[in-house]
Chains A and B, each alone.
Chain A
Amino acid sequence: MSNDHNHHEESFFRKYIWSTDHKIIGIQYGFTALFFLLVGFSLMMVMRWQLAYPETRIPFVGSIFGDDGILLPEIYNSLGAMHGTIMIFLGIVPLAVGAFGNYLVPLQIGAPDMAFPKLNAASYWSYLVGGLVMMSSFFTEEGAARSGWTSYPPLADIEVGQTIWLIGMIFLITSSLLGSMNIITTIVQLRAPGLTWMRLPFFVWAQLVTSFLLVLAFPPLEAAAVLQLMDRVVGTSFFLPSGLVVSGELMEVSGGGSPLLWQHLFWFLAHPEVYVLILPAMGIVSEVIANNSRKPLWGYNSLVFATIFLGFMSFIVWAHHMFLTGMGTAMSAFFQTTTMIISIPSVIILSALFISLWGASIRFNTPMLFALAFLPMFGIGGLTGLPLGLAAADIYLHDTYYVIGHFHYVVAPGTIFGLFAGIYYWYPKITGRKMNESLGKLHFWPSLLFMNGIFMPMFIQGLAGVSRRLWDGGLEYAHASGVFHWNEFMSISAWLLGLAQIPFILNVFYSIFRGEKVDNNPWESTTLEWSAPSPPLPHVNFETLPTVYRDPYEYSLPGRNRDFTPQSEPKKNK
């Protein structure tokens, strides 16, 4: 392919704002998603004040919440619902798929761009509009959504604030659908010559399976969101039953709908969504571990097949979120069986990554530290999920802080650590400079410590039966009195975790200008993106499009003069 595009002068607006270059779109996704992660995290830091010191004035920002400076229950509910929504739909998924997928998939498969560049831009702008719509709800008279990130009817059908949430979700889902179709097409159609399926970096496999999950699971939720919007706006009753009594009053609704239908449609997306959150992080961690252990990934084939199986199984476990709805023991038995089965590929992936470390000469740089921390953190998150997958145990643990601890271990020190590993690892490719190692370690160690400080006590509170979504953290409940004091410990950990992100934010901006300049392949890596210039060339990525001759992780192979052999390096004729 000719590199003529590279010489074509583009205006600033065209180049950096209204761009169709997958790298710019990836960066746009990245910065937007990091901003939203900060917003979502900030909401939680405010909520944690109320949980630790109920009904006392919130320092610094109290005046936002009224003259008393106290977080009232309805605002607490809004912050809780929006925290979940923002972190998942505006933060992690756009960062994991929109940013990393966009930036890296074409580079790792040796393609000049995504298959549909304009669709790619449309995906980002739809995401941004969805995000802005969501955020605008904070400034409306009704306020933001307050029916949980799950938007369960009938509450979500009648409670204020949910209309804008639903409109925002429709934009966000559209964005994800456009993005994931693009990734699938790109991987299928635009792989470099010689890049066979089993030569794909594991990260690309993770993105491929993730994209299939998004494409297949999101449409039912998009349809459901439209139906719920109609329930709220035009008086339909898709999710409202006849004879609905709310607050002791008979609701004037046409009825005949089913609240449980929403739960099925929601979890049909939202359980695969868990794997949408975790698979890209697993992909990133795999790349970082292979590179920094200087060994091929152990069991590459097992990893790939386990991931495909995981993706398939993720579509038939959703109702384990609904054991308490009274759907019957036969249904519960089926879904708890599939849930136990899906833990097998997760264990295969985690085991393969652990075994990959065996006997390695590990480079303990910042990306590797985050990747290494991911393994036990995700392990805790995964293993604590098993009791929730069994109906008998779930009846007790459902809707307690145990659940919150479980999924936050998966998503926060799990996925987010994986994403941090990826940012530190690929930053030199994006900017041509490395991030500062000292600041990186100052980011990592406190983050690891305080993440556990927040989420580990949640298991203790949950096992004591403390419900999630309690505005006062359990203060008024006798059964919570023995574990209430943990709230202060968790809250202080959360605020310190917030402080621990300052070195990261400084590092991102500082290193753009002052980071150590590096060549195209500073980590001595094997995959194709490292054969491109840093940063890769606009629109075409590579000086000349590469051809692939090797497996993705040829590290420390005997008889080689270096401990790594790039995929694009031709094999010598014997």
Chain B
Amino acid sequence: MKIRIIGTLIIMVLIGVGYAADVKGKITFDGKAPKMKPLRMDADPVCVANSDIKPRKEWLILDENNSIKNVLVFVKESKSGSLADSYDTPKESAVIDQKGCVYVPHVLGIMVGQTLDILNSDGTLHNIHALPKVNKEFNKAMPRSKKQMSVKFDKVEAPFKVKCDVHPWMGAYLGVFDHPYFAVTDDSGAYTISGLPAGKYVIEAWHEKLGTQTADITVDDSGASQDFLFKKPSKKK
């Protein structure tokens, strides 16, 4: 009897592993990389002192291969009904830090109800001003003595801006999802969405300036791969 139960469990685990795979890809920029101007933080000497390197504007960060950092890739829709009705909220907090007077990370995805810890590693006054359209807007000051605060978001929402009104160059973007299948591209423009059940999906790649792209993918036992190529948007006439 015991052997049967253990055998069944092993089979179920194997099936489960087989039906959850990773989606990987790389996102690159097609065109001449624009010259990114350095950030001028002179208005606050603390910001200058806290910056290890001379920071540059963050709206487009490319590596030598034109791979784009900070693209949020996420499952937008399941065409095969493979997503569960609901997912457990992660117990671990997502974290965004105000460090050297920039937000680290610059783009972040979190789940509905998940705690977002907002840190202030700078010894200066920041205010974190979230500008969601669906969730509730908030604008909280974080003086140098307030090192951490926590917030939660109740509703699914496409990426929205979070900014500091004290240091106008500071900006970050936050997307809120009701599932855990999202990822942000790293320095080499690569992303991995882990543990996605087999099935057909629409995934979206979102960039703060270059816009969005979607792709239909099919995830099988070996996972899936989907690259995106972004172009500089044409100027509006």
Partner of B168 from A54, A55, A248 at Cβ < 8 Å: A248
Instruction: Tell whether A70 is near chain B: CB-to-CB under 8 Å.
Output: yes
Partner of B141 from A56, A74, A247, A249 at Cβ < 8 Å: A74
Contact A249 B146 (CB under 8 A): no
- Tell me the bound Cα distance from A73 to B141 in angstroms: 6
- Tell me the bound Cα distance from A249 to B131 in angstroms: 9
Contact A476 B125 (CB under 8 A): yes
Residue of chain A at shortest CB distance from B145: A55
**Which residues of B lie under 8 Å from residue A248 when comparing CB positions?**
163, 168
Residue of chain B at shortest CB distance from A249: B131
- A248-B168, A249-B161 known; A73+B143 contact, CB < 8 A: yes
Contact A247 B145 (CB under 8 A): no
Which residues of B30-54 have CB atoms within 8 Å of chain A's CB atoms? none
Residue of chain B at shortest CB distance from A71: B143
- Tell me the bound Cα distance from A441 to B139 in angstroms: 48
- Tell me the bound Cα distance from A184 to B30 in angstroms: 78
Contact count band on A? 10 to 19
As a 0/1 sequence over residues 88 to 104 of chain B, the CB contacts with chain A under 8 angstroms (1 = contact) are: 00000000000000000
Residue of chain A at shortest CB distance from B131: A249
- Tell me the bound Cα distance from A249 to B163 in angstroms: 10
- A73-B125, A73-B127, A249-B131 known; A55+B143 contact, CB < 8 A: yes
Instruction: Tell whether B76 is near chain A: CB-to-CB under 8 Å.
Output: no
**Which residues of A lie under 8 Å from residue B139 when comparing CB positions?**
74
Contact B131 A247 (CB under 8 A): yes
Instruction: Tell whether A72 is near chain B: CB-to-CB under 8 Å.
Output: yes
- Tell me the bound Cα distance from A249 to B144 in angstroms: 26
Contact A55 B144 (CB under 8 A): yes
Which residues of A150-189 have CB atoms within 8 Å of chain B's CB atoms? none
**Which residues of B lie under 8 Å from residue A519 when comparing CB positions?**
none
**Which residues of B lie under 8 Å from residue A247 when comparing CB positions?**
129, 131, 163, 165
Which residues of B149-191 have CB atoms within 8 Å of chain A's CB atoms? 161, 163, 165, 168
- Tell me the bound Cα distance from A410 to B111 in angstroms: 55
Contact B168 A72 (CB under 8 A): no
- Tell me the bound Cα distance from A516 to B168 in angstroms: 65
Determine how close the nearest CB of chain A comes to the CB of B115; give it in whole angstroms.
16
- Tell me the bound Cα distance from A155 to B140 in angstroms: 16
Contact B141 A68 (CB under 8 A): no
Determine how close the nearest CB of chain B comes to the CB of A116; give it in whole angstroms.
46
**Which residues of A lie under 8 Å from residue B145 when comparing CB positions?**
55-56, 68, 70
- Tell me the bound Cα distance from A274 to B145 in angstroms: 39
- Tell me the bound Cα distance from A471 to B142 in angstroms: 12
Of B139, B141, B143, B163, chain A has the most CB atoms within 10 Å of the CB of B143
- Tell me the bound Cα distance from A322 to B146 in angstroms: 37
- Tell me the bound Cα distance from A291 to B208 in angstroms: 75
- Tell me the bound Cα distance from A476 to B124 in angstroms: 9
**Which residues of A lie under 8 Å from residue B131 when comparing CB positions?**
247, 249
- Tell me the bound Cα distance from A248 to B131 in angstroms: 11
- A73-B127, A476-B125 known; A68+B146 contact, CB < 8 A: yes
Residue of chain A at shortest CB distance from B44: A476
**Which residues of B lie under 8 Å from residue A70 when comparing CB positions?**
143, 145-146
As a 0/1 sequence over residues 189 to 215 of chain B, the CB contacts with chain A under 8 angstroms (1 = contact) are: 000000000000000000000000000
- Tell me the bound Cα distance from A74 to B127 in angstroms: 10
Which residues of A17-57 have CB atoms within 8 Å of chain B's CB atoms? 54-56
- A247-B131, A248-B168 known; A72+B163 contact, CB < 8 A: no
**Which residues of A lie under 8 Å from residue B161 when comparing CB positions?**
249
**Which residues of B lie under 8 Å from residue A54 when comparing CB positions?**
143
- Tell me the bound Cα distance from A74 to B146 in angstroms: 13
- A248-B163, A248-B168, A249-B161 known; A72+B146 contact, CB < 8 A: yes
Contact B140 A74 (CB under 8 A): yes
Residue of chain A at shortest CB distance from B140: A74
- A55-B145, A247-B165, A248-B163 known; A72+B129 contact, CB < 8 A: no
As a 0/1 sequence over residues 121 to 145 of chain B, the CB contacts with chain A under 8 angstroms (1 = contact) are: 0001101010100000001110111
Determine how close the nearest CB of chain B comes to the CB of A249; give it in whole angstroms.
6
Which residues of A241-271 have CB atoms within 8 Å of chain B's CB atoms? 247-249
As a 0/1 sequence over residues 459 to 477 of chain A, the CB contacts with chain B under 8 angstroms (1 = contact) are: 0000000000001100010
**Which residues of B lie under 8 Å from residue A249 when comparing CB positions?**
131, 161
- Besides A73-B125, A74-B141, 16 other CB < 8 A contacts? A55-B143, A55-B144, A56-B145, A68-B145, A68-B146, A70-B145, A70-B146, A72-B140, A72-B141, A72-B146, A73-B143, A74-B139, A247-B131, A249-B131, A249-B161, A476-B124
28 contacts between A and B (CB under 8 A): A55-B143, A55-B144, A55-B145, A68-B145, A68-B146, A70-B143, A70-B145, A70-B146, A72-B141, A72-B143, A72-B146, A73-B125, A73-B127, A73-B141, A74-B139, A74-B140, A74-B141, A247-B129, A247-B163, A247-B165, A248-B168, A249-B131, A249-B161, A471-B141, A472-B125, A472-B143, A476-B124, A476-B125
Ranked 3 nearest A-B pairs via Cβ: A73-B141, A55-B145, A72-B141
